[in-house]
Amino acid sequence: MRRGRILFSLFLIAVAAYAVYSASAWSFKAALFPLSVSIPLIALTAAQLLLDLFGKAETANGPSVELEFGADVAPDVARRRVIDIFLWIIGFILLVFFLGFPIAVPLFILSYLRLQSRESWWRSVSLTAIAWGFFYGVFERLIHLRFEEGWIQAWLGM
Amino acid sequence: MFEALIDGLFLVLQWKAFTLMLVGMGLGFMVGLLPGIGGPATLALMLPFVFKMSPAEAFAFLLGMHAVAATTGDITSVLFGVPGEGLSAAVVVDGHPMAKRGEAGRALGAALMSSLLGALIGAVALALAIPIVRPLVLTFGSPELFMLSILGISCITSLSGLGARGQIRGFAMGLLGLLFSTIGQERQAGSLRFDMGLMYLWDGLDLVPVLVGIFAIPEIVDLAVRGTAIAGDRQPENLQAGVVEGVKDTFRHFWLVFRCSAVGVFVGIMPGAGGGVAQWMAYAHSVQSAKDARDRERFGKGDVRGVLGPGAANNSKEGGELIPTVAFGVPGSGAMAILLGAFMIMGLLPGPEMLTKHLAVTYSMVWTLVIANVIAVVLCLFILNQLAKVTYIKGGLIIPVVLLLVFVGSYTANGQIADLIVTFLFGLLGYFMVLLGWPRPPFVLGFVLGKLIETYLFISVSRYGFSWLTHPIVIILIMLTALVIAYPFIQEHRQRSGRPVHA
């Protein structure tokens, strides 16, 4: 966790430093606000970094208003599941990019239910049909959202 | 005036206006439930349909839709941790942990009842405030609005972390949110900032993909990691009892709900501040109303007060936003700017005429807010049993459906694949923020307010130099900001010295 915090602080410092570097080339009007935000951001994050590197270990005894992840799963299992779900999300985005929403939605839901959730074929297919019906009925027919065609359809000139 | 009040009621109760209000409510109900599809966007889509309506019918339709979207947005926030509306994000912070703990019914009961009370308080404020609000609105120029926004951010950052070190992280996240808000074309000089050569970034990052990504993706990851239903492996709660308990909670903390509603009305009145600020300020007020530091630790882990505050403010701000819109033609938010379009379509001129010649129409808006919210909440309370059962469905079945809603919702922002990538990247950022203890609420508030703050700062400096810092209201707001920042330290110090602290 400590190493993660240090890396995250370094990431924030890099983002803010990039902002300062970019803003230095802009006019005063354009640079004023980004500079007045990113310079204190560097200072605060550097302070946090120094505290993480050289300060005492933090004790969680103060007020917090953030969510906390469940801690009742073994760390290696949790790590694998985190990677899995992010890969599924990336897969969904790639499906949408290549095939467009109308095809990606049923394909993704069916694959997830069969391969990840290990549901029966019957349940997977019926849930996919319901979800697709909802998607089509609400987003396409009722709200008339326009979905971009996929890269493959565009490439094939469909 | 009393006669106009009654006339306004009858205008809404005419069968055509009433039916149109119900149709609007049906649309608003769905829009509120679907993540990302905002109330303002739907208002804009529905605007062309009001051409042939009378003013009372048009406002019953549009306001019925708008009022209900704010209420039902809380349902998705509580059940899935996905903000149904951009304005429901603060309800996620405590509402979803309650659902995870098996108290979805209670959280929903509290959210809905506080929304109803908030809406009623907002409507009463609208009815009473119109004649007296003019001086207040005119007193707030850019310097005051700038400081009000800073106060809003300070409220949430000052209570976002664990101890003093957490405060640093809270403020850093607020600044990061402000920094991300500067992406895109700068308003004063028109130059492009941080666009990385991508045309997608010229207009800046849209709120919906950022908000949905940063809040929803970490929840989905958590659900996938736990491998259980949203409510874990608990036995289903007695939902009806839970809902009744949530309703009772609203009255148990009535003064908190009342104060948060007042916060909502006040922020709503201030042009441009909008509901995104109101809910977080109300949330901050709820947390700061805790008896002591130990009591405050309950927030973020499923404290019903964290649901009541933003729930009430979300709806009371509707009445507040209507005040400057109706009285001066100065819209309090994006949604109100669209509603102003309806005024023009109807041939009505906001201003003195709305308070004299068309007073009955103005009061019909008040009644629409009241009636639409009462009907929506009563209906919701009847179907909550079914809705809350969703939290007991296996995570493996819920995840693909929630992902579908998240990404379709994000896609509505610009209709581009890039919206999905932004959602994913902010989801990743949100995941690491939660994992490493960097708070998300200050980031979101900074991001929401960034453009406004920059504009207010620019106008203040251009118009007054640095003398705006000596404006009396600015000084009061600076002192309030300092107090808000110092308050957790004072509270901690007093607790250590053994004295009880009450907000």
DSSP B385-441: HHHHGGGGS-HHHHHHHHHHHHHHHHHTTTSSHHHHHHHHHHHHHHHHHHHHT--SH
**CA-based nearest residue in chain A for residue B288:** A63
**Residue B182 carries which side chain, given as an amino acid letter?**
T
Instruction: Note the pLDDT of residue A112.
Output: 94
**B16 near A CB under 8 A:** no
Contact at 8 Å (CB) between B289 and B305? yes
Instruction: Note the pLDDT of residue B441.
Output: 78
Instruction: Note the pLDDT of residue B38.
Output: 57
Evaluate if residue A58 carries a pLDDT over 90: no
Contact at 8 Å (CB) between B277 and B265? no
Instruction: Note the pLDDT of residue A61.
Output: 47
ipTM of the complex, rounded to two decimals: 0.92
Cα separation of A68 and B301, whole Å?
A: 8
- Tell me the mean pLDDT in the region A119-130: 92
Cα separation of A2 and B322, whole Å?
A: 49
Cα separation of B321 and B267, whole Å?
A: 8
Low-confidence stretches of chain B (pLDDT < 70) are: 1, 34-42, 44-45, 48, 83-88, 130-131, 133-138, 156, 158-164, 230-240, 271-276, 328-334, 337, 351-352, 387-389, 391, 488, 491-503
CB contact under 8 A, B403 and A22: no
Instruction: Note the pLDDT of residue B36.
Output: 54
Which residue, among A15, A26, A64, would best test binding to B if mutated, counting the most B CBs under 10 Å from its CB? Answer: A64
pLDDT interval class at A65 (50, 70, 90): very low
**CA-based nearest residue in chain B for residue A90:** B424
CA-based nearest residue to B260, from B216, B299, B204, B317: B317
Instruction: Note the pLDDT of residue A64.
Output: 47
| A83 burial level (CB within 10 Å; 0-12, 13-18, 19+) | exposed
- Written in H, E and C, the secondary structure of B257-322 is HHHHHHHHHHHHHCCCCHHHHHHHHHHHHHHHCCCCHHHHCCCCCCCCHHHHHHHHHHHHHHHHHH
* Token couple for A133: 């019906």
Instruction: Note the pLDDT of residue B503.
Output: 37
The length of chain A is: 158
- Tell me the mean pLDDT in the region A133-148: 80
Evaluate if residue A62 carries a pLDDT over 50: no
Going from N- to C-terminal start, the domains of chain A cover 2-54, 75-156
**Residue A1 carries which side chain, given as an amino acid letter?**
M
Evaluate if residue A13 carries a pLDDT over 90: yes
Instruction: Note the pLDDT of residue B128.
Output: 80
Cα separation of B474 and B160, whole Å?
A: 25
Cross-strand partners of A100: A149
CA-based nearest residue to B369, from B14, B44, B126: B126
CA-based nearest residue to B29, from A102, A133, A142: A142
* Per-residue pLDDT tens digits for B166-189: 778 888 998 999 999 999 988 777
Going from N- to C-terminal start, the domains of chain B cover 2-496
Cα separation of B235 and B384, whole Å?
A: 17
Min distance B12 CA to chain A CA atoms (Å)? 27
CB contact under 8 A, B34 and A145: no
CA-based nearest residue to B109, from B198, B237, B220, B266: B237
The length of chain B is: 503
CB contact under 8 A, A86 and B179: no
